[in-house]
């Protein structure tokens, strides 16, 4: 008779214990969820700007003008602006030479371009270059306006090919086309020709980089646009895409021992080699032999500048801020 009572007592004792364990378990789950939510909130509230950029802003104080600068900076960086270039502008603020309000306006303009899907760092780099060279805002701003015009022209040409799902690829290719539009003597009709080559590709916008840059590289070397397109078209027809196409263009553009455009007879020989060789490996072997036989350079010889979007070398481009006697990009 006593044993059942003990078993019954044990069951009654386990009831509160189970409830307590359940409450503890539910509390742990709740705390885990709250912890995850707090982590997500903390990440969302994490500073958008780097410590270095925040330090540069804090050095400017905290009045209304400085708050406007901070807001413009954050908006620009959120849109994709280079943290380093934004910091360079802020560090150059000077009450007389470069007012804070001017830098805030420039960063707002940069942000707007980024929000429109344009390569904002291209424009930002012109602000930075101009300031670094000691140019006044009233000399820098007209150049930036012309560069923006060139970027918008390029965007219109790119978007006419159809939508691109890759925002960064579109920005980079707009930058490519805008660069070529800025080369002396190049028109929109000229640039439209290499664009047509990629129309039948699976991803036409993403495929544009190599034909456009190769076309521009050859023009920058001094070849006429017609000849430059003939070379690109011949190589594209033979299946050259991406790095092989750019390699061909770079080799030919830098071949002249005395600088300037490659000799016409060399261009003709390269075209014949393209037509003759079905293997790209054999073509480049033949190209190396041709260059060596003729005593042409195999290394780049023209000036190289850094592209702020793609970090790729490009043949030297006239500097519209420094050289005011030459037409600035986008002025045509």
- Band (pLDDT 50/70/90 cuts) for residue 331 is very low
Whole-angstrom Cα distance, residue 48 to residue 198?
37
Give the mean model confidence (pLDDT) for residues 8-18: 49
Task: Please tell me the predicted confidence (pLDDT) of residue 135.
Answer: 96
Flag whether pLDDT at 47 surpasses 60: no
- Band (pLDDT 50/70/90 cuts) for residue 36 is very low
Give the mean model confidence (pLDDT) for residues 140-169: 92
Whole-angstrom Cα distance, residue 133 to residue 141?
14
Flag whether pLDDT at 179 surpasses 90: yes
Flag whether pLDDT at 6 surpasses 60: no
With a CB cutoff of 8 Å and minimum separation 6, the contacts of 107 are 69, 72, 73, 75, 76, 81, 86, 89
**C-alpha separations of 183 from 34, 44, 122 in Å:** 58, 43, 16
Task: Please tell me the predicted confidence (pLDDT) of residue 266.
Answer: 93
Tell me the two tokens of residue 260: 């300037």
- Read off the pTM: 0.73
Report helix, strand or coil for 314.
strand
Task: Please tell me the predicted confidence (pLDDT) of residue 114.
Answer: 96
Task: Please tell me the predicted confidence (pLDDT) of residue 170.
Answer: 92
More confident residue, 322 or 120: 120
CB count within 10 Å of CB 62 equals: 10
Angle at 111 between CA 38 and CA 61, to 5 degrees: 70
Most confidently predicted of 61-70, 224-233, 250-259: 224-233
Angle at 181 between CA 178 and CA 183, to 5 degrees: 120
Task: Please tell me the predicted confidence (pLDDT) of residue 9.
Answer: 46
What integer best gives the mean pLDDT of the chain? 80
> Tokens 């490009």, residue?
314
Task: Please tell me the predicted confidence (pLDDT) of residue 40.
Answer: 39
Q: Above pLDDT 70, what percent of the chain? A: 73
Flag whether pLDDT at 196 surpasses 80: yes
170 with 198: CB under 8 angstroms?
Answer: no
Give the mean model confidence (pLDDT) for residues 195-203: 91
Flag whether pLDDT at 43 surpasses 70: no
**C-alpha separations of 285 from 26, 243, 273, 293 in Å:** 72, 16, 10, 12
Flag whether pLDDT at 230 surpasses 70: yes
Task: Please tell me the predicted confidence (pLDDT) of residue 97.
Answer: 92
> Taking the domains of the chain in order of start, what are their residue ranges?
152-315
């Amino acid at each position: 008779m006593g044993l059942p009572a003990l078993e019954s007592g044990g069951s009654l004792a386990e009831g509160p214990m189970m409830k307590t364990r359940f409450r503890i378990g539910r509390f742990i789950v709740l705390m885990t969820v709250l912890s995850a939510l707090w982590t997500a909130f903390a990440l969302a509230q994490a500073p958008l700007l780097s410590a270095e950029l925040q330090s540069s802003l804090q050095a400017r104080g905290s009045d209304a003008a400085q708050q406007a600068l901070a807001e413009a900076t954050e908006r620009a960086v959120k849109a994709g602006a280079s943290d380093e270039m934004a910091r360079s502008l802020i560090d150059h603020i000077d009450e007389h030479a470069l007012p804070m309000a001017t830098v805030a306006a420039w960063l707002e303009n940069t942000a707007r371009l980024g929000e429109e899907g344009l390569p904002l760092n291209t424009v930002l780099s012109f602000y930075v270059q101009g300031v670094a060279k000691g140019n006044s805002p009233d000399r820098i701003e007209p150049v930036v306006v012309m560069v923006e015009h060139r970027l918008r022209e390029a965007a219109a040409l790119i978007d006419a090919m159809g939508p691109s799902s890759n925002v960064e690829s579109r920005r980079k290719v707009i930058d490519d086309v805008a660069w070529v539009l800025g080369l002396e003597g190049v028109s929109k009709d000229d640039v439209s020709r290499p664009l047509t080559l990629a129309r039948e590709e699976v991803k036409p916008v993403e495929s544009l980089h190599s034909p456009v840059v190769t076309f521009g590289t050859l023009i920058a070397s001094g070849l006429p646009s017609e000849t430059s397109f003939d070379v690109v078209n011949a190589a594209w027809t033979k299946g050259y895409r991406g790095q092989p196409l750019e390699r061909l263009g770079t080799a030919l553009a830098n071949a002249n021992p005395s600088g300037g455009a490659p000799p016409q007879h060399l261009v003709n020989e390269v075209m014949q080699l393209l037509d003759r060789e079905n293997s790209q490996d054999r073509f480049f072997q033949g190209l190396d032999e041709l260059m060596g036989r003729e005593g042409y350079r195999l290394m780049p010889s023209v000036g190289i500048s850094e592209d702020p979007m793609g970090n790729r070398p490009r043949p030297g481009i006239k500097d519209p801020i420094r050289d005011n006697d030459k037409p600035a990009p986008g002025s045509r």
